[in-house]
Amino acid sequence: MRFFILFLVLISIHAQEIEKAITEYYFQFQILSEQASREHTLDAAFQAFFPKMQSIDFFLQKFAPTATQEDKIHAIRMSYQKKPNYSFFYPSWLYDKRDSLFDALDKQKQADLESKISHKESELSQEIGEKLEKEDKQKSLKKQQEEALKAEQEFGLKTKQGKKRLEECQKENDQLSLQIEEKKSKWLMYQTKLEELSIKILNLQRLLAVEKDPIRRERLEKQLRIAEMERSEYSSRLLSLERERKSLQEKLQENSKQMEKLPNQIYEWEMQHSKAKSSLVTLDQDLQSLKKDLALLETKLHPLMQLVAEKQKLASLLKEASLWWRNANSKPRRNFFQAFFVLKNFKEEYYQIKIKKSYGLEGLVEVFFW
């Protein structure tokens, strides 16, 4: 009976020691997370919390060195499930990105990532050099392609417009020649009429010089005035017609000069257009070949690009999380590290998660642990 009582006492002592170890284990959560929450930067807070956190085995060895039965330790921890410890992630994206964020904050992982990148860069230095060289060449060829395309469009348009203008000049010259002939016919008609009127006026003047009868003189004077008016009108018409004919003649000469020059210009433009078009074909072939070469190089460099992309992704996430840290108050800061540590280090049987995406503006993830 005495041995049984002693056995029960020993069991009770062991249980108390385990509870003490567990209590101290969770107490360090409060102390270290409070200290970390006061840090100005997320990186400093991470270093103030994670490296200093001791595992539960440390506290069991310290406060319950004789407790070696894991099932008893498990049973005691599970008994806290009814009254669990509590922490949370707010906003909820901190929970969603927790693994990547841990990698971004872990100095050793960052150093390992940098080492992998450096090793890959050294290993693929020749391919990197080739890629840079081909990208420069690709850039140069694309610029040449733009210039050739511009020239092809420019000289193609000039050729089209030149041919159109040549046809227009021919049509205009035909019309101008016809109009000039019409003006010439009118001019001859008006000239003949002027000569007739001049003779008529001269005859009337001679008759007036010898006529004595007042009535006849009045009639002759009237005829003379009418003839002089007609001659004046035809003289004006003749001058106007001469100006019109001269203008048409100048336009005809101008068009004729254009028609002399245009064939040579059109030929030159066609040659330039053909040259630009041929250059475009060659440049396109060169660019397609470069594209294939770059695709092969990118395949070889893909492992390096993945590492660089991972580094950039982690840097971007760290920047986002650091901004949140600066703007957050101590409570979400403190709870963030507790919840962060639990999900990173606890077995799933020792915690429970409740996600409340509709909580507030950014969602809340509660973490209960024991």
* CATH number of the domain encompassing residue 269: 1.10.287.1490
Confidence of residue 63 (pLDDT cuts 50, 70, 90): confident
Does residue 204 sit within a domain?
A: yes
The answer to whether residue 319 is domain-embedded is no
pLDDT at res. 12: 53
315 falls within a domain: no
Report which of 94, 53, 105 is spatially closest to residue 346, judged by C-alpha positions.
53
Specify the pTM: 0.63
140 and 234 belong to one structural domain: yes
Segment 299-308, tens digit of pLDDT? 999 999 999 9
Structure confidence by residue, pLDDT tens digits, 306-342: 999 999 999 999 999 999 999 999 999 999 999 999 9
In a domain, 184, yes or no: yes
The burial class, CB within 10 Å (0-12 / 13-18 / 19+), for 34 is middle
pLDDT of 200 above 50: yes
* pLDDT 10s digits, 24-53: 989 998 999 999 999 999 999 999 999 999
Query: Do 93 and 105 belong to one domain?
Result: yes
159 and 97 in a common domain: no
Distance between the two ends of the chain, CA-based, in angstroms? 36
Instruction: Answer whether residue 320 is part of any domain.
Output: no
Distance CA 362, CA 191 (A): 101
> What percent of the chain has a predicted confidence (pLDDT) above 90?
84
Q: Is the dihedral of CA 87, 92, 96, 99 positive or negative?
A: negative
Tell whether 75 is covered by a domain.
yes
Structural domain contains residue 132: yes
For residues 201 and 228, the answer to whether their CB atoms sit within 8 Å is yes
- Domain shared by 196 and 303, yes or no: yes
Beta bridge partners of 369: 85, 351
Q: Are 23 and 146 part of one and the same domain?
A: no
Tokens, residue 330:
């101590």
- 39 & 187 share domain: no
Q: Which domain holds residue 239?
A: 125-310
Residues 43 and 53 in one domain: yes
Do 352 and 203 share a structural domain? no
146 within domain boundaries: yes
Count of domains observed in the chain: 2
Q: Both 289 and 355 in a single domain?
A: no
My answer on whether 119 and 130 are in the same domain is: no
Residue 68: pLDDT band by 50, 70, 90 thresholds?
A: low
Same domain, 136 and 281: yes
Same domain, 118 and 130: no
Between 286 and 1, name the one with better pLDDT: 286
d(CA 77, CA 64): 14
| Final residue of a structural domain among 266, 281, 310 | 310
